[in-house]
Amino acid sequence: MMKYQPKDSFQSPRFCGVRTFMRLPFVEQVDEHMDFVIMGIPFDSGQSFRTGARFGPGAIRDFSILLRPYNPEQAINIFDYISGIDYGDIPVVPGYISETYKKIEDELTPVIEKGIVPISLGGDHSITLGELRAIVKKHGPVALLQFDAHSDTWDSYFEQKYNHGTVFRRAIEEGLIDVSRSLQIGMRGGLYGPEDLQDARDLGLAVYTTNDYKRNGVEKMLEIIHERVADGPVFLSFDIDFLDPVYAPGTGTPEVSGASIDDALAFVRGLTDIEFVGFDLVEVLPSYDHGQVTAAAAANIVYEFITLIALAKKGKRDKMGMIQDLEKQLNN
């Protein structure tokens, strides 16, 4: 039995207790028994339209109490293989993005150094730069797999270099992203000009619009993803506005004609056999979320992130068991 796992909802009603993701233990220190940590980064001073994503981590946690440990779509009981906690929230500095980046980096660094996979709940998309700065210390430049309605590669927005619309240009400039292995999927909506997407391609990213992925289909796109990221560390950043506003009305910059929740879950479930070293889910804005629709989608996507970690651990155990069985046969 794993040391850290959710409370048993047959023994304790879901509506009881302090809200943590999936009712995981709230622990503010990391140790060798942990495979992943959930942490909130409630910063939204980088948003350009609607604000309020600072309340996103709480909204996601609030819905996540309905999640259960057995994932039938992936045929795995998650906590048979991995252990995880809810680390709480990083104490951000509202209105001060550079200071917040430092806090994100400081909080994530000891987690990553211990080989634990961080799963961050945003907050707006600007937070990802702080996460990548921490991750690169251990893993070097990583592949970026980004699901998003927007490329977030502008050079500046409102003459500011750091916000949720510039985050990946800054990350590339800082050498945090291996662009030769990176993809952006889901771009759509009006632009200021064709250069908005061309700039991302010129930076070396493979860019697929929503129409591209819908023409290809999810299965073909999964083949493209696996071929592109290949071997090596990958960071997955999921902006909830990848989804159509029907499935995610509670977000800062909604764009029509997006992905369904079915496609989003199919994408994440298909991302097996990839070396993920970090995840985030950003831009949940509960004040525009009616009936917890967006929070439900976000919580379930994060659940699939955790499942990917469990599947990877199970695969390693199964491989080790096969090797041991083979050694026994040879010795006999």
Contact status, residue 21 vs residue 87, Cβ threshold 8 Å: no
241: annotated binding-site residue?
A: yes
Mapped onto helix, strand or coil, the DSSP state of residue 318 is helix
Mapped onto helix, strand or coil, the DSSP state of residue 251 is strand
Residues 173 and 154: their CA atoms lie apart, in Å, by: 12
The alpha-carbon radius of gyration of the chain (Å, integer) is 19
Mapped onto helix, strand or coil, the DSSP state of residue 71 is strand
125: annotated binding-site residue?
A: yes
The DSSP annotation for 198-209 comes to HHHHHTT-EEEE
Contact status, residue 165 vs residue 214, Cβ threshold 8 Å: no
Residues 84 and 24: their CA atoms lie apart, in Å, by: 7
Contact status, residue 294 vs residue 251, Cβ threshold 8 Å: yes
Contact status, residue 258 vs residue 245, Cβ threshold 8 Å: yes
148: annotated binding-site residue?
A: yes
Mapped onto helix, strand or coil, the DSSP state of residue 70 is strand
Contact status, residue 70 vs residue 152, Cβ threshold 8 Å: no
User: How many CA atoms lie within 13 Å of 271's alpha carbon, on the beta-carbon side?
Assistant: 28
**Taking CA 244 as the corner, what is the angle to CA 241 and CA 248, rounded to the nearest 5 degrees?**
60
Contact status, residue 56 vs residue 282, Cβ threshold 8 Å: yes
* Token digits of residue 122: 């945003």
33: annotated binding-site residue?
A: no
Which residues are documented as binding site? 125, 148, 150, 152, 239, 241
Question: Which amino acids are annotated as binding site for Mn(2+), given as ranges?
Answer: 125, 148, 150, 152, 239, 241
